[in-house]
Amino acid sequence: MKQVKSLSVLAASVALALAGASGVATAAKVPAGVQLDAKQELIRNNGSEVESLDISQVESYPAISVTSDLYEGLTRRDNNSKILPGVAESWKQTSPTTWVFHLRKDAKWSNGDALTAQDFVFSWQRTADPKTATKYGIFFEFLKNGKDVLAGKKPVSALGVKAVDAHTLEVTTDVPTAFLPDLLTNPQMAPLHKASYEKFGKDYTKPGKLVSNGAYTLSDWVVNNRLVLVKNANYWDAKDTKITKVTYLPVEDEATELKIYRAGEADTIDRLPAGTFQQMKAQLPKEMKPNKILGLYYYGLNCNDPVLKDKRVRQALSMVIDRDVLVNKVMGNGEAQAYSLIVAGTAGASVTGYDWQKLPMAKRVEEAKKLLAAAGYGPNKPLHLKFSYNTSEVHKKVGLFVISEWKTKLGIVTGMENQEFKVFLKTRHDGNYQVARNGWSVDYNDANSFLDLVRCGSDQNDSKYCNKAVDAEIAKGNLTVDAAKRKALLTSATKLAMEDYPIIPLFQYVQPRMTKTWVGGWTTTNPMDIYKTQELYIVKH
């Protein structure tokens, strides 16, 4: 299970944002010489039923995929995670905390209504309203007064968004937020069609009622069976949208999903059953599209635990795990070894590392043994640990490997505790564990998202780790406008935190996808991992 994901970009820099751009058509770019199929229809397996198509309730990867096709925000991301203009033609950061977005005049809703700045204000205020009860208010927390509005302490009108005129939107943030254009690509930040929402209420997301502004519009939705979108003729870039109909399947069982793909009734799948990657790669090398994402697979160490309170123990545990074997032999989907909180490609901080990571394993083990001995553990008093994880083939496999590393190299006896998913989440969030499997993929492409895992008292800090010096560096960095200085500060905060070993980073996630050879426009360089159908096309086959 991965963290809920959302979108953003590799280089969400102020420079790009300031540059803005003009309304260049950038949808499906069909290379010269490629013949398109007469039937531009696509079937994507989505891995699960969407929890909602209401953008204020959207949270999971499947729902974000579908709503990214249905809706378009001020900015959007292509299938290389590059930020492009969306409904906003251009934008300017007029002060460190103020942004002005100029909306394109030809933006329309799928029913032909004109799309105005007021539609964004309505949407955002509705989502931030405590009565709407969004689970995913993280993006609004960056807007001015966002946290207070979500908590019901201030009225929705206090939210940092204002329609200057029908085509100009002013957004204010609490602190300088260089990655704002990145945040705004998320479907949660899309506009909402007020008239249909007010007419149909909760039912506004049903086929025939949903009015969208993205490249697609909802045509059919049978829950747990299929979700069909068709091309939105009123979309401003409709002429460059090739796929006319996309069907999302909600098949959950991974083995079933792969069989449907092989039977030719799905053109793309997002996952593979554990242990089948090599087999499929050998059989269908051209269809493998593994994509490295901005996500970290790690083990959390409970810093409040009497045994793990000792930093030396935590360090020893991290040192002896051979990430090379883990990545190459146990996982084998092309994952990258991780020694830092930050994974390669994240904006806003550099990947840090450990001095020992280049040492030969024998040396690392020797040093780890010394650390353990200093902490009072050795052959006479072996260390006993408990490892908690939720039921999954991958978690089990990694867990067994790590435990055998600890056992054979340090003589640590580790009991495994496999819990049902929700029980496990409660155990982990409540800090009732010693070592727990954990994972994080960013909500927006900035180091800040990863640093949430180690900030004192952060909701995502399951290690219950707290170091005031780290917090001070993060806070200082986030108030810094200069990109280079900010990066230096956040990198040093990361380094500081990692030297305390609150977590054991293991590897950077790879999403092992497969697509049929005739699906054009699919990339494997998409760290934010959302694939918009509007950039895809079907090659003649």
Partner 1 sequence: MLFQKAKRQALAESLSATTDAVIEGRSPWADARRRFLKNKAAVASLIVLLVIGILIVAGPWVLPHAFDDTDMDAMNFAPTLQGFHLFGTDDLGRDLLVRTLIGGRISFMVGILGTVVSVVIGVSWGAVAGFFGGRIDALMMRFVDVMYALPFMLFAILLMTFFGRNLVLMFVALGAISWLDMARIVRGQTLSLKSKEFVEAAHAIGVPRRHIIFRHIVPNLLGIVVVYATVTIPNVILTESVLSFLGMGVQEPMTSWGVLVDEGQSKMEAMPWLLLIPGFMLSLTLYCANYVGDGLRDALDPKDR
Partner 2 sequence: MLSYIFRRLCGAVPTILVVVTVCFTMLQLTPGGPFDSERKVSPEVLANLQAKYHLNEPIYKQYGYYLNNLLHGDLGASFRYADWSVNSLVGNALPISLTIGCTSMVLALFFGVLLGIVAALKQNSLVDYFVMFLSNFGSAVPSFVIGPVLVLVFCLWTPLLPFGEFRLTPAYILLPVALLTLINVSTLGRVMRGSLIEVLNSNYIRTARAKGLPLRTIVLRHALKPALLPIVTLLGPLAVATIAQAVVTESVFAIPGIGRLLVNGAINRDYTLVLGLVLLVAIATVLFNLIVDVVYALLDPRIRY
User: For binding to partner 2 (CB under 8 A), which residues are involved?
Assistant: 1-4, 43, 49, 51-54, 57, 59, 130-137, 147, 150-152, 202-203, 205-206, 222-226, 247, 249, 251-253, 255-256, 259-260, 262-266, 420-423, 425-426, 429, 439, 459-460, 462
Q: Where do we find the tokens 């146990």?
A: 330
**Helix, strand, coil percentages, rounded to 5, for the chain:** 35, 20, 45
Choose which of 166, 400, 425, 475 interacts with partner 1 (CB under 8 A): 400
Cβ-based nearer residue to partner 1, 283 or 525: 283
Using CB under 8 A as the binding rule, whether residue 334 contacts partner 1 is answered as no
C-alpha dihedral (452, 319, 406, 3), degrees to nearest 10: 20
Q: Which does 251 bind (CB under 5 to 8 A by kind): partner 2, partner 1, none?
A: partner 2
Mapped onto helix, strand or coil, the DSSP state of residue 389 is strand
Largest alpha-carbon pair distance within the chain?
Answer: 77
Size of the site for partner 1 (CB under 8 A): 27
Q: Among 87-95, 126-134, 418-426, 463-471, which window interacts with partner 1 (CB under 8 A)? A: 418-426
Helix boundaries (H) for 285-354: 311-319, 323-325
The site partner of 25 among partner 1, partner 2, none (C-beta below 5 to 8 Å per kind) is none
404 scored as a contact of partner 1 (CB under 8 A): yes
Among 20, 23, 250, 273, binds partner 1 (CB under 8 A): 273
Minimum CB separation of residue 316 from partner 2 in Å reads 28
Contact of 329 with 335, CB cutoff 8 Å: no
53 binds, among partner 1, partner 2, none (CB under 5 to 8 A by kind): partner 2
By CB under 8 A, name the one of 401, 464, 487, 539 that touches partner 1.
Answer: 401
Unique residue bearing structure tokens 């409660």: 426
> Would you count residue 90 as binding partner 1 (CB under 8 A)?
no
3-state secondary structure 10-37: CCCCHHHHHHCCCCCCCCCCCCCCCCEC
Residue choice 163, 166, 274, 466 for contact with partner 1 (CB under 8 A): 274
DSSP 3-state of 399: helix
Residue 161 CA, chain-centre distance (Å), reads 25
Each residue 370-399 as x (binds partner 1 by CB under 8 A) or -, in order, gives ---------------------xxx--xx-x
CB 535 within 8 A of CB 27: yes
248 or 339: CB nearest partner 2: 248
Give the H or E element holding residue 149: helix 146-150
Nearer to partner 1, 52 or 418 (CB): 418
Residue pair 387/436 in contact by the 8 Å Cβ criterion: yes
Per the CB < 8 A criterion, the answer to whether 138 and 97 are in contact is no
Of 36, 100, 330, 539, the one binding partner 1 by CB under 8 A: 330
Question: Looking at beta carbons only, is 24 or 282 nearer to partner 2?
Answer: 282
Instruction: Considering only CA atoms, give the Rg of the chain.
Output: 24
Nearer to partner 1, 43 or 258 (CB): 258
Question: Which whole-number Å values give the CA distances from 151 to 1, 125, 134, in the listed order?
Answer: 29, 13, 11
Burial class (CB in 10 A: 0-12, 13-18, 19+), 85: buried
CB of 460 to partner 2, least distance (A): 6
Q: Tell me which of 4, 100, 325, 359 binds partner 1, using CB under 8 A.
A: 325
What SS3 state is found at 21? coil
Which entry of partner 2, partner 1, none binds 525, CB below 5 to 8 A by partner kind? none
Token pair recorded at residue 220: 């059919």
The binding site for partner 1 (CB under 8 A) comprises 254-255, 273-276, 278-279, 325, 329-330, 391-393, 396-397, 399-401, 404, 416-420, 422-423
